[in-house]
Amino acid sequence: MIVLGIETSCDETAAAVVTGQRQILSNEVLSQLDEHRPYGGVVPEIAARAHLDAIDHIIARAMATANVTYPELDAIAATGGPGLIGGVLVGVMTAKAIAAVHQKPFIGVNHLEGHALTVRLTGDADNNEVEFPYLLLLVSGGHCQLLIVEAAGAYRRLGTTIDDALGEAFDKSAKMLGLGYPGGPALEKWAMDGDPIRFDLPRPLKGRAGCDFSFSGLKTKVRQTIENLPAGPVTDRDKADICAAFQNAAGDVLIDRCNNAIDLFLAAHPAGRHLVVAGGVAANQSIRSRLAALCKARKLSFAAPPLDLCTDNAAMIAWAGLERLKAGDVDDLSFRPRPRWPLDPDAAPAIGGGVKA
């Protein structure tokens, strides 16, 4: 089976060709960083126009690199939500047009499902297939959730953020420190040279029951810490130490919440073996190594996609499309893009928020 995947839900225009044998034949990602940098964040209208300018070329390149012709494809999958609707529309309409012309199935993929299933494409540390069920920590710019992945399309949410997503907290803290855009990777770099205990930052919800997250208090304390520094420009030493303190506090919260989630996961699935991390923040080395250590302590296997498949890409969309195709679950051309699309529609709303869920 061969599937073309298209991703346009945020600020990456991406296309990839993937096979049912877990091979990535091509994986083209065009980032719009330069277009959005002057604004310090993603501007939806600029993103939609940039997707429109780039999409044909990126798809042509993905097909050429894969050395695959349209008739050889088994399906065309595109992110159908959640995300910035202008961009999602560009990807979905393009995919539908290709599907209609070549008489192939179209699959509208949930972007979060793309992140959630990436490890099934990339495998565990020994390149073995990661089998269902597994526990998933999904940490991106828009989401922060713990889920049990029971099968493709079957998710049970154990917890979610009641305010900010972790990637958002990384980005906003980085912005306050003037580290540039995008903030997450920059903050990680600065944290490497920092002292994580010089500044005392909160660990929201740590020690409390359940698996929900909250990061807005941490972000606020970063702002107050910066305001309380001596007058004048923030020094490099201060920047590095605040970054290290932030990353350490965020990591403590993740470990605490994951520990609770592991209890619930093993209670539901005593033979469950894997903790998986996915989404853009999963590219953070400090967070990856702390989760790996937690898995060792809890006798679970740890699986994470390679760094370039943690952030947004189309290989994950092609793969999620493949899993749907194998299950016979395809869409037709009446599919409507969905700006909001929870993985677990039955989950109870998070107390006090859940706006990102």
User: What is the contact surface with ligand KG4 in residues (CB under 6 A)?
Assistant: 10, 140-142, 167, 170-171, 182-185, 188, 279-281, 283-284, 311-312
331 contact choice in ligand KG4, Zn ion, none (CB below 5 to 8 Å, kind-dependent): none
171 binds, options Zn ion, ligand KG4, none, Cβ within 5 to 8 A by partner type: ligand KG4
Which residues sit opposite 78 in a β-bridge? 6, 108
**Measured from the CB atom, is 312 or 323 closer to Zn ion?**
312
Cα–Cα–Cα angle for 27, 30, 34, rounded to 5 degrees: 155
Q: Name the residue nearer to Zn ion (CB basis): 245 or 278.
A: 278
Report in angstroms how near the CB of residue 267 gets to ligand KG4 at its nearest. 29
Which is nearer to ligand KG4, 104 or 157 (by Cβ)? Answer: 157
Q: How far is the CB of 144 from Zn ion (least distance, A)?
A: 12
In this structure, the strands spanning 12-19 and 24-31 are: antiparallel
Residue 356: DSSP 8-state: T
Binding mask 311-330 for Zn ion (x = CB under 5 A): -x------------------
Nearer to ligand KG4 (CB atom), residue 19 or residue 32 = 32
Q: Are 117 and 323 in contact (CB under 8 A)?
A: yes
Minimum separation from the CB atom of position 271 to ligand KG4 (A): 30
DSSP letters spanning 45-112 = HHHHHHHHHHHHHHHHHHHHHHT--GGG-SEEEEEEESS-HHHHHHHHHHHHHHHHHHT--EEEEEHH
| Residue 212 CB, nearest approach to Zn ion (Å) | 20
- Considering the complex, state which of residue 8 and residue 140 has its C-beta at the smaller distance from Zn ion: 140
Closest approach of Cβ 181 to Zn ion, in Å? 17
Least CB distance to ligand KG4 at residue 230 (A): 28
Query: Between residue 48 and residue 77, which ones bind Zn ion under the rule CB under 5 A?
Result: none
Select from 79, 140, 161, 313 the one that contacts Zn ion (CB under 5 A).
140
Nearer to ligand KG4, 163 or 312 (CB): 312
Across-strand partners of 7? Answer: 14
Name the H helices within the chain: 33-36, 44-66, 85-102, 111-122, 166-176, 183-191, 216-227, 236-268, 285-297, 315-326
Q: Which is nearer to ligand KG4, 73 or 138 (CB)?
A: 138
d(CA 165, CA 73): 36
Pairing of strands 2-7, 134-139: unpaired
Residue 291 beta carbon to ligand KG4: minimum distance, rounded to whole angstroms = 13
State the pairing for strand pair 154-160/106-110.
Answer: unpaired
Distance CA 265, CA 278 (A): 17
Specify the 3-state DSSP secondary structure of 144. Answer: strand
Instruction: Write down the least CB distance from residue 166 to ligand KG4, Å.
Output: 7
Binding segment (CB under 5 A) for Zn ion, from list 127-135, 193-201, 227-235, 305-313 = 305-313
Query: For residues 242 and 281, which CB has a smaller minimum distance to ligand KG4 in the complex?
Result: 281
DSSP 204: T
**Residues forming a β-bridge with 160:** 145
Residue 11 in contact with Zn ion, rule: CB under 5 A: no
Site residues (vs Zn ion, CB under 5 A): 140, 312
